[in-house]
Structure formats: structure tokens, C-alpha cells
């Protein structure tokens, strides 16, 4: 029995952990430090001025357009996550609790979209929402409209719909996993003790699946917050999100220091949200790690 718990692990465990430490160091920590350092430089034309300045952050905090776009992006990301949860949770619930046969098949069908290229799926949505897209053709064929509607594509609606579609599997998988982990006899017990399916869901299933729900929320929120391709492809004039802003600083304006500063702001926001929700999730979900 170990009586005294050492403050540091024995050296051997460091050796075993070296690959993962190196991996994290070079793929996560070093790039972050570079970004952070870069955000304090400035750019004169195409020349990088390597002297310390707070100019980039000053611009971000003084020009209201950046904060406005940031809030727009946060709102979109929040809405998208909520929509994804609203779509994916009932789906996961149905597959996990209601299906007797073919559950694995259904599970596969829910995650198959992940195997298709991200860009292909975005283009697919363009042809669904577009002027001669599936929706318009259908409405024209039925005779509800005489002219193709332009309300589906190149606006925030299109971004939200497509982002939601992209995020659904990322919510579905953790929620489904946490639902599968709930022992079924607990639901028998709830029913036996007087809970209808709905009360049993509210009192037992929902709290026990909360860790999965939070993980799903984090996934979809981060994906939606950082995405710039969907707004670019389907957003039209409303398609400037914070991700596009960062991308344009690097790819168009060649103002890497400012892009780095914006990127770092987004990083801090993401980490804060992640930290808050993960803490919430672990205290509520700690019981599952028995």
C-alpha cells in the first residue's frame, strides 16, 4: 500500500508520456505561442514589424464593427448549437430507447455524413436552397409559388441551416453514447415508482445524459463559432462572421498580426466557454465515472 503520495510521478512515467507531451507541445502549445507573439507585432504593407505593440488589440476594442461581428458570430453559434441539440437529441433518444432492431444501422446512418467531404456537403446545401434548388422546384411543382423564392440562400438562414446540419452528428454521437450508458432497469424503477415516460425523462434520463449533451454543445458551438467556409459559400452579403474576419486578415489583407490578435480573442472566448461548460458537465456527470 502506498502511504505517501509523491508530488511528482516517478521518472518512468515521464518517459512513457514523452510522445504525447511532444505532440501537444509542437501541435498545440508552440503554434499558440507563435500566434500570441504574432498578435503583438504589426504589419506595414507586406513587411512584418517585429516590435512590441498593443495596436492590434486596441483596434479590436475601439472599432465597434469587430465586437458587433463577434456578437453576431456568438449568437449564430449559440443558435446553431441549440438547433443541433433540438434535432440530434430526439434522434439519439429514439435510436437508443425506441429502436429494438437495426439500432446499429441507424447509428451508422446518423454518422455517415461525416464520411462525405465537408465542401461537398456545403455545395449540396447550395443546390437544395438555391433558386433552382430542391425546395424551390418542389414549391413550384406543387404550385404554391409562381416564381422561385430567394429567401433560402445567401443569408443568415442558409448559414444556420447548413451549420446545424454539419453539427448534428457531433451532438448525436456524445448524446447517444451517454443515453446508451443509462442502465435500463433504472427506467423500469422510475416507471415502477410512479413516473410516466415524460416525468421519467425529465427526472432521470435528461440529468443522466447531461454530460453527453454538454459535450455535444461544446463541439457544435466551437465548430459553428470558428467556421468561415459556410458563411463564405452560403452567407451572401450577411456572410461575414468572425471566422471570415480572421481568414481575410491572413488570406486577403496579409495583416497577419491583426489576424493573430483576432484569432487569440476567439481562442480565449472558446476556452472560457469550454472551461465553464466542462466544469458544469463534470460535476453533474461525475457520478457516471464509477
Partner 1 sequence: MDLDFHPQHIVELYMDDATAIELQNLTKRFDEVVAVDNFNVKIQKGEFFSLLGPSGCGKTTTLRVVAGLEGPSKGTVLLEGKDVTGVPAYKRNVNTVFQDYALFPHMNVKKNVYFPLKMRKISLNQAEPKIERVLRLVNMEGFGKRLPQQLSGGQRQRIALARSLVNEPAALLLDEPLGALDFKLRVAMQKVLKDIQRNVGITFVYVTHDQTEAMTMSDRIAVMKDGHVHQIASPDEIYNDPETAFVASFIGDMNFLHGIIKSGSEKSAKADISGNIINTRKLKQGIKTGEEALLCIRVERVEVNPLEGKLDNVVACTLGRIVFRGTDYEATCRFDDSEIRAVVSATAWDHGLKEGDTIKIGFKTDDVIVFPKSEEKDVIKYSVEAV
Among residues 18, 127, 131, 199, the one that binds partner 1 under rule CB under 8 A = 199
Q: What residues does 43 pair with on adjacent strands?
A: 48
For residue 288, give the C-alpha cell.
457516471
CB of 204 to partner 1, least distance (A): 6
In 3D space, the residue among 115, 111, 224 whose CA is nearest the CA of residue 162 turns out to be 224
> Is residue 282 involved in binding partner 1 (CB under 8 A)?
no
Q: Cα(276)–Cα(271) distance, rounded to whole angstroms?
A: 8
Site size with partner 1, rule: CB under 8 A? 22
Based on the shown chain and the rule CB under 8 A, indicate whether residue 203 belongs to the binding site for partner 1.
yes
Tell me which stretch binds partner 1 (CB under 8 A): 22-30, 102-110, 113-121, 181-189.
181-189
Please name the residue that has the C-alpha cell 436552397. 129
Asked if 195 is part of the footprint of partner 1 (rule: CB under 8 A), the reply reads yes
Give min distance, CB of 214 to partner 1, in A.
Answer: 14
**How many of the other CB atoms lie within 10 Å of CB of 5?**
5
Q: Is 20 in the site for partner 1 (CB under 8 A)?
A: no
- Other CB atoms within a 10 A radius of the CB of residue 166 amount to 23
DSSP character at residue 253: S
Q: ∠183-184-185 over CA atoms, to 5°?
A: 95
Residue 196 is a binding residue for partner 1 (CB under 8 A)? yes
| Under rule CB under 8 A, residue 288 binds partner 1 | yes
Q: Give the residue, chosen from 98, 193, 237, 283, that forms a contact with partner 1 under the rule CB under 8 A.
A: 193
Nearer to partner 1, 210 or 278 (CB): 210
The three three-digit cell numbers of residue 192, written as one number: 415502477
User: What is the Cα–Cα distance from 290 to 75, expressed in whole angstroms?
Assistant: 37
Query: Under the criterion CB under 8 A, does residue 177 sit at the interface with partner 1?
Result: no
Q: Residues 14, 52, 118, 287: which binds partner 1 (CB under 8 A)? A: 287
Q: According to CB under 8 A, which one of 188, 251, 268, 280 is a site residue for partner 1?
A: 188
Amino acid at each position: 500500500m502506498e502511504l505517501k503520495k509523491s508530488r511528482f510521478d516517478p521518472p518512468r512515467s515521464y518517459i512513457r508520456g514523452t510522445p504525447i507531451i511532444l505532440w501537444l507541445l509542437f501541435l498545440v502549445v508552440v503554434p499558440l505561442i507563435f500566434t500570441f507573439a504574432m498578435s503583438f507585432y504589426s504589419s506595414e504593407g507586406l513587411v512584418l514589424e517585429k516590435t512590441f505593440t498593443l495596436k492590434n488589440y486596441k483596434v479590436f476594442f475601439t472599432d465597434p464593427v469587430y465586437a458587433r461581428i463577434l456578437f453576431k458570430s456568438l449568437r449564430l453559434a449559440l443558435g446553431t448549437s441549440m438547433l443541433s441539440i433540438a434535432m440530434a437529441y430526439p434522434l439519439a433518444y429514439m435510436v437508443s430507447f425506441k429502436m429494438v432492431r437495426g439500432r446499429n444501422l441507424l447509428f451508422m446512418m446518423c454518422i455517415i455524413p461525416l464520411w462525405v467531404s465537408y465542401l461537398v456537403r456545403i455545395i449540396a446545401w447550395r443546390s437544395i436552397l438555391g433558386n433552382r434548388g430542391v425546395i424551390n422546384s418542389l414549391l413550384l411543382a406543387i404550385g404554391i409559388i409562381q416564381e422561385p423564392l430567394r429567401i433560402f440562400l445567401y443569408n443568415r438562414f442558409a448559414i444556420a441551416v447548413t451549420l446545424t446540419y454539419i453539427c448534428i452528428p457531433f451532438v448525436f454521437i456524445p448524446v447517444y453514447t451517454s443515453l446508451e450508458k443509462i442502465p435500463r432497469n433504472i427506467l423500469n424503477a422510475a416507471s415502477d415508482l410512479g413516473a410516466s415516460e415524460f416525468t421519467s425523462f425529465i427526472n432521470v434520463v435528461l440529468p443522466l445524459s447531461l454530460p453527453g449533451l454538454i459535450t455535444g454543445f461544446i463541439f457544435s458551438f466551437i465548430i459553428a463559432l470558428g467556421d468561415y467556409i459556410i458563411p463564405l459559400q452560403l452567407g451572401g452579403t450577411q456572410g461575414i462572421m468572425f471566422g471570415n474576419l480572421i481568414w481575410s486578415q491572413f488570406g486577403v489583407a496579409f495583416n497577419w498580426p491583426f489576424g493573430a490578435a483576432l484569432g487569440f480573442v476567439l481562442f480565449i472566448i472558446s476556452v472560457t466557454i469550454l472551461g465553464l461548460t466542462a466544469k458544469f458537465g463534470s460535476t453533474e456527470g461525475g457520478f457516471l465515472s464509477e
